[in-house]
Chain A
Amino acid sequence: KQEVTQIPAALSVPEGENLVLNCSFTDSAIYNLQWFRQDPGKGLTSLLLIQSSQREQTSGRLNASLDKSSGRSTLYIAASQPGDSATYLCAVRAGGYNKLIFGAGTRLAVHP
């Protein structure tokens, strides 16, 4: 059974810091991996999608990497800003099936 774990559960950093959020999954047979952002009381916003054949994806200050063999993905946020404060969720899609398995998320607070 696929399990997704995110570490740390919560993170508080000063503005301007570069930071890394971690996601690990138990079954490497994934189709792709997607990172989401969720603001309090809101839905999920897709940030990055990495196909299983890819190693990384970049969007602005965000960079996500994928190491399928070790069952890990990282989300790198450069020069963090208070507006980045949110919960970040990673989800894996099992190969050949569209079910997304979510981690519990990392709650990020960036303070001025």
Chain B
Amino acid sequence: DARVTQTPRDKVTEMGQEVTMRCQPILGHNTVFWYRQTMMQGLELLAYFRNRAPLDDSGMPKDRFSAEMPDATLATLKIQPSEPRDSAVYFCASGSYSGRGYNEQFFGPGTRLTVL
């Protein structure tokens, strides 16, 4: 049963600390997305990778957030330094893209981040 996995599932940290969230996309998927969900803003796209290359990170605060794909099986989202307003659930999703277009996105269980 292929699924997107995320670690950690929960993270509580203090303001100013570095936070790293990890995602393992479904094997064979070539697109990876990072979303943030809050009660006020709903679901927002932070970053998007295709074939490990970042194609869009316009939704991400550049000064503190960074997203990378060191290899096809790992995507990371890093916040440094973290702030209380970063508290949210962060979702990773993966999907496939071919010459015929984009297919469904499959979501991981999310990382619930609390910054005190």
List the interface of chain A (C-beta within 8 A of B): 31-32, 34, 36, 41-46, 49, 51, 89, 91, 93, 98-100, 102-105
Contacts and interface: CB of A to CB of B under 8 A. Distances in A.
A49 B106 CA distance: 11
Contacts of B31: 98
A99 B45 contact: yes
Given A42-B109, A43-B109, A99-B56, A34 B42 contact: no
From DSSP, what is the main secondary structure of chain B's interface residues? strand
Contacts of A34: 104-105
Nearest to A45: B107
Contact of A46 (B43, B56, B97, B106): B106
From DSSP, what is the main secondary structure of chain A's interface residues? strand
Q: Which of A36, A42, A43, A99 has the most CB of B within 10 A?
A: A43
Interface of B: 4, 31, 33, 42-43, 45, 48, 50, 55-56, 91, 93, 95, 97, 101-110, 112
Contacts of A93: 102
Q: Which of B93, B101, B109, B112 has the most CB of A within 10 A?
A: B101
B45 A32 contact: no
Contact of A43 (B45, B48, B104, B107): B107
B44 to A, nearest CB: 8
> What are the nearest 5 A-B pairs in CB distance?
A44-B107, A102-B43, A43-B107, A43-B109, A49-B104
A100 B91 contact: no
8 contacts: A32-B101, A32-B102, A42-B110, A43-B108, A49-B104, A89-B43, A98-B97, A103-B42
A66 B34 CA distance: 26
Contacts of A43: 4, 91, 107-110
B107 A99 contact: no
